[in-house]
Amino acid sequence: MKIPLTPIRFLHRARRQYGDKQAVVEDDKSWTYREYDERCRRLANLLLGWDLPAQSPVAFVAYNTHELLEGYYGVPLAEHVLLPLNVRLTADDFAFILDDAGASAVFFHADFLDSIVKIRDRLQTVERFVLLDPAEDAPSWIEQHTYEELLAQSSPQLQFDYMQVDENAVAEIFYTSGTTGRPKGVMLTHRNLYLHALELALALRTNDADVLLHTIPLFHVNGWGSPQLLTGLGGTHVMLPKFEPEKVFEAIERNGVTGLSLVPTMAIALVNFKHRDRYDLSSVRLITVGGSASNPHLTRQVEELFDCLCLAGYGLTETSPALTLARPKAHFELDEEERLDLQCMAGTANLGAEIEVWDEQGRPLPWDGQSVGEIVVRGDMVMEGYYNRPEENEEVFRGGWFHTGDAATIAPDGYVQIVDRTKDIIISGGENISSIEVEKALLGHEAVLECAVIAVPDDEWGEVPMALVVLKDDRQASEEELIAYAREHLAHFKCPRAVRFYDEFPKGGTGKILKRELREEFWSKVKKRVH
């Protein structure tokens, strides 16, 4: 027997198995899985009533709210493609993505009304505009009723047979951040999403008792797989529209949150929040950290604050996203320092993911923990491809594997250690320097809150590392002190030649530091740019 692999089956299971269980919580509102399923069906019927082109993208410009979570199932139930947009992009970015994807409808929060008004006349394919919340003086071309009013008018009865779904059809498109040019649409199929959820469930050991706080934006790389994973297993989604430390702690205490995912800048904000001791955090059992490299000092702080396990992981938009998790193997005998070091690695491949490192000639490198090469991947979770980018697809899938652009080593026991993005490796006097390694060292200093290490031009060496640092509010450190500290922990050629202090860093939609913007000041006047 062959049944289509589609995440819609997860919603069907949740309604049948957990219909009366709390499914979604947002502030003082909540919905059971039966109610959540009904709202998704109403959304699907709304879209079907509009007679949009078949398999067209339906966009959401939305915070982490229940409406966007409903889009994860309501849109594919109507046999359309979900297109969540990064809310921190510009209006011009919105226009490019909506046109590039050929979106037919866009749902958006009132905060983005000005952006939508600005680009409306330029959009080539969008037929419907829907406000997710009320807005004063909304233009007449926007739907007369808000999202909630439209759902109330829509029927909850939907005749849908998931046995008719083409598992290889595109279910979602996520646009990359565009650090190397215009954003590219990553196409994830029903099959990708279904198998990724199963593989991630095994890695995280999730079950129906879990209560997940959505700290990572749902518009970011498939919400790290949580919309499919948690729904399929009958866990509870706790929505957090915007990341604010105090709101995180309140939500954990109020809802008995068992798990959350963070990027390092989020983790830093939580462990340094001055009122953190006021809250009961005892329900938390697992925190995962990804998006950029963590470090043992931060991992220890997170585990001490929440009295939980904190594990790093690795993945990309193109891989649905999770590929690895840094959980210590059961037979390992590790002291505390070894355990923390291991939990900050990318980790071992999840079931279903095959990972290798290749040299520049496309030859596999040994798993010796020393040989550095590009991470290449194949597996059920790897994207269908970039939308309408045939040449780039040919390039990233060369040799039958997906090329990530990340440099790493793999230890004999299978643990992957990210060295850097290939474009972030600093090549100084012919020596390769990992910016991540230098950052980890400096983040061990008690005064350093955040750190980004970049290459800057140098007449003698071509380029050298510079440390950009944000200090903690109540601590001080000089340039000389931090360079000396780095020299105590690193080979001297790896140490930053200079330190510059910042009040804050430019960050992307998930809080990831934007090194590309930080580098621009130093490389903008260089004719031949290395990075």
What is the per-residue pLDDT across 364-417, written as a single tens digit (0 to 9) for each?
999 999 999 999 999 999 999 999 999 999 999 999 999 999 999 999 999 999
Give the pLDDT band of residue 429 (cuts 50, 70, 90): low
The tokens for 312 are 């790093």
Q: Over 90: is that where the pLDDT of 293 sits?
A: no
Using a 10 angstrom Cβ sphere, with 0-12 exposed, 13-18 middle and 19 or more buried, the burial of residue 90 is exposed
pLDDT, position 436: 86
Say how far apart CA 214 and CA 359 lie, in whole Å: 38
pLDDT, position 433: 85
User: What is the DSSP annotation of 215-229?
Assistant: -S-TTSGGGGGHHHH
Average pLDDT, stretch 161-170? 96
Average pLDDT, stretch 509-526? 83
Say how far apart CA 331 and CA 83 lie, in whole Å: 43
Helix (H, G, I), strand (E, B) or coil at 255: helix
Q: Over 60: is that where the pLDDT of 56 sits?
A: yes
Residue-wise pLDDT for 233-261, tens only, equals 999 999 999 999 999 999 999 999 999 99
Say how far apart CA 425 and CA 435 lie, in whole Å: 6
Q: Over 60: is that where the pLDDT of 179 sits?
A: no
pLDDT, position 430: 63
Between 430 and 130, residue with greater pLDDT: 130
Q: Are 212 and 230 in contact (CB under 8 A)?
A: yes
The tokens for 498 are 């200079």
Q: Please name every residue paired with 427 in a beta bridge, in sequence order, or none if there are none.
A: 432
pLDDT, position 531: 35
pLDDT, position 448: 96
Portion of the chain with pLDDT greater than 70, in percent: 97
pLDDT, position 529: 39
Q: Over 70: is that where the pLDDT of 343 sits?
A: yes
CA dihedral 227, 229, 231, 235 (to 10 degrees): -110
pLDDT, position 402: 98
Q: Which of 49-53, 262-266, 482-486 has the lowest mean pLDDT?
A: 262-266
Q: Over 90: is that where the pLDDT of 332 sits?
A: yes
pLDDT, position 463: 84
Q: Over 90: is that where the pLDDT of 421 sits?
A: no
Which is it for strands 322-325 and 348-349: parallel, antiparallel or unpaired? Answer: antiparallel
Q: Over 60: is that where the pLDDT of 178 sits?
A: no
Centre a 10 Å sphere on the Cβ of residue 134 and count the other Cβ atoms it contains.
11
The tokens for 377 are 């991947």
Q: Over 50: is that where the pLDDT of 180 sits?
A: no
pLDDT, position 528: 40
Q: Give me the chain's average pLDDT, please.
A: 94
pLDDT, position 523: 85
Residue-wise pLDDT for 8-46, tens only, equals 999 999 999 999 999 999 999 999 999 999 999 999 999
DSSP annotation of 513:
B
Q: Are 344 and 293 in contact (CB under 8 A)?
A: yes
Residue-wise pLDDT for 92-115, tens only, equals 889 999 999 999 999 999 999 999
pLDDT, position 47: 98
Portion of the chain with pLDDT greater than 90, in percent: 83
